[in-house]
Structure 1
Amino acid sequence: MLAFSAHAEDVRVAFVAHEKLPSVEQLVEKTTSLLNVGSELRLLNEPPAAGWQSYSAVVLVGPQALEAWSFNDSPAAVAVFVSRDAVAAYRQQLASALYLEPPLKRQVAMAKSILGHDRPLGVLVQDKSQWKNSGLSAMPLQQSLVTPYFVDQYDNLNRALLDLLKNSHALVGTYDTELYSSTNIKNILITAYRQNKPLIGPSSAYIKAGALATTYSDIDDVAHRLSEILLTGLKEQVWPDADYNPYFKVRYNQQVGRSLNLLLPDADALAAQLAKGEREH
Structure 2
Amino acid sequence: MDELAPIHGNAKTYPTVVTIGSQASDQAFTHLSPEQTLIMAFLPKRTYLGLLEKHTPHPRQKLKNFTAVFLDQPLERQFNLIRIIKPDTATLATALGAYSQQELPELERLGAAQGIKIKQAILSENDNPMQKLQPLIAGSDVVLTLPDKSLFNRTTAKWILYISFRQGIPLFGFSEKYVKAGAIAAVYSKPNDIGRQTAEVLSQWLSQKRLADAQYPSYFNVVTNPVAARSLRINIKSPEIIQQQLKGMEP
CA-to-partner distance for each residue in 1:225-277, whole Å, 9 max, x for gaps? 11221122233333222221021110112332232232211211211211221
Q: Could you tell me which of 172, 175, 179 is aligned with 2:144?
A: 172
Distance 1:121 1:77 in 2: 38
Residue 50 (structure 1) shift:
9.8
8 Å contact from structure 2 (residues 11, 32) kept in 1: no
Q: Note the alpha carbon deviations across 1:74-103, whole angstroms, 9 max, x for none.
A: 622222221112212323657111111112
Structure 2 unmatched ranges of 5 or more: none
Structure 1's unaligned 5+ residue stretches are 1-17, 19-42
Is 1:138 matched up with 2:109?
yes
If the length of structure 2 is used for normalisation, what is the TM-score?
0.81
One-letter amino acid of the counterpart of residue 167, structure 1: G
Q: Which amino acid aligns with 2:149?
A: T
Shift of 1:194: 0.8
Paired position in structure 2 for 1:62: 21
Give the TM-score taking structure 1 as reference length: 0.73
Correspondence for 1:250: 222
Distance 1:148 1:125, change over 3 A: farther
Matching residue within 37, 43, 51 for 1:82? 43
Match of 1:12 in 2: none
Q: CA deviation at 1:110?
A: 0.4
Q: Secondary structure at the match of 1:77?
A: strand
Identical-residue share of aligned pairs (%): 26
Q: Distance in 2 between matches of 1:256 and 1:55?
A: 50
Q: Secondary structure at the match of 1:121?
A: strand
Determine if contact 2:93/2:144 at 8 Å carries over to the other structure: yes
Contact 1:151/1:157, CA 8 A, preserved across alignment = no
Alignment check: 8 A CA contact 2:171 2:183 kept? yes
Tell me, what secondary structure is at the counterpart of 1:135? helix
Say whether 1:72 aligns with 2:32.
yes
**For each residue in 1:41-97, what CA deviation from the matched residue of structure 2 results, as whole angstroms up to 9, or x when unmatched?**
xx8623556941333422211223223434332622222221112212323657111
* Count of residues paired in the alignment: 237
Aligned to 1:8: none
Give the Å deviation of 1:200: 0.2
DSSP 3-state at the match of 2:156: helix
| CA shift in 2, pair 1:209/1:254, >3 Å | same
2:240 matched to which residue of 1? Answer: 268
- Note the alpha carbon deviations across 1:126-169, whole angstroms, 9 max, x for none: 4798255663332353852140413269x754344222322211
Aligned equivalent of 2:5, options 36, 46, 50: 46
